[in-house]
Amino acid sequence: MSNIIDGKAVSAQVKQRIKEETAKLKEQGIDIGLAVVIVGDDPASKVYVRNKKKACEEVGFNSYEYALPAETTEQELLDLVNKLNADDKVNGILVQLPLPKHLDDKVIINNILPEKDVDAFHPVNVGKIMIGDYNFLPCTPAGVMELIASTGTEIQGKECVVIGRSNIVGKPMAMLLLHKSGTVTICHSKTKNLKEVASRADILVAAVGKPKIITADYIKEGAVVIDVGMDRDENGKLCGDVDFENCKDKAGFITPVPGGVGPMTIAMLMQNTLTAAKVKNGLMDNTVEQEVDTKERTVFNKLFLHT
């Protein structure tokens, strides 16, 4: 039987680390604040916002919640974002998605200052992730990396398969695995022989949004299986993209749903907010340098930069 990766336990460790760092910053007179903006009455969004507020309390952050009516105009929302951009008490800004249909997600996200964009959705932060030279990581892929690390699995040289190509999970997930020198394949709805490709993976990340689509014949014996899905089965019960009962005896490590990736997403949001506060106060480098092959960089410079 596989080892079940306990996302609640790993997230608790991350939040404890953040709590300790936050306490030290408070001794230096530095308070940390996260502003969360929710527009409308989406029940799932309300639950997420409530959980984020609770996490802020756990780690010692100030939490600023802005609940706006569904009929809020784009200009009204932009005015609030600009106000929070200018507020020194606010280190991180999160606008809860999805927004009502009359509001343009891209316009709102693009107006959040990159240094306060703790969701890491701003194009500047997305570009930094691409080149491996960043402050913030999208919270769910960052949480997945923490879960993989908790197993003691070395990513370097491993076959990694990501099923899903969304901007929020699939694409950044692939980049993070690549930065750790994994050999990465991204699969999607047009991939041929998906089962064959997935079954080669030493590390399989499922982010499809289809309940229990991944069964044991998609999985290599002993693989690390991370289920990002948050679905409902035919009985309305919460489940993931991976058929847990069918796969748990074949995988080496596997995350459950619930209790796997979910708790990590909020923990990594707290980590991003802490990082934003440290950067603002000059307590760390402006960017987090990732492992880069010096020889590759030199070759790139010679070919494209003429240096």
Which of 116, 117, 119, 271 does the annotation list as catalytic? 119
The C-alpha atoms of residue 174 and residue 266 are separated, in whole angstroms, by 20
Q: Which parts of the chain are beta strand (E)?
A: 3-4, 33-39, 62-68, 92-95, 133-134, 159-163, 183-187, 203-206, 224-227, 231-232, 238-239, 253-254, 288-289
Q: Which long-range contacts does 156-159 make (Cβ < 8 Å, 24+ apart)?
A: 156/180, 156/181, 156/182, 157/181, 157/182, 157/183, 158/182, 158/183, 158/202, 158/203, 159/183, 159/185, 159/200, 159/201, 159/202, 159/203
Ordered DSSP codes for 122-185: SHHHHHHHHHTEES---HHHHHHHHHHHHTT---TT-EEEEE---TTTHHHHHHHHHHTT-EEE
CB-based contact 173:144 (threshold 8 Å): yes
- 3-state DSSP of 180-201: CCCEEEEECCCCCCHHHHHCCC
Which of 96, 158, 180, 202 does the annotation list as catalytic? 96
Which of 15, 52, 180, 278 does the annotation list as catalytic? 52
Query: Does the annotation count 119 as an active-site position?
Result: yes
The C-alpha atoms of residue 117 and residue 41 are separated, in whole angstroms, by 23
Three-state secondary structure call for residue 110: helix
Tokens of 273: 């907010």
Query: Does the annotation count 96 as an active-site position?
Result: yes
Looking only at Cα atoms, what is the longest distance across the chain?
A: 62
Tokens of 149: 């690390």
The C-alpha atoms of residue 263 and residue 268 are separated, in whole angstroms, by 9
The C-alpha atoms of residue 209 and residue 76 are separated, in whole angstroms, by 32
Query: Does the annotation count 41 as an active-site position?
Result: no
Would you name the residues annotated as active-site residues?
A: 52, 96, 119
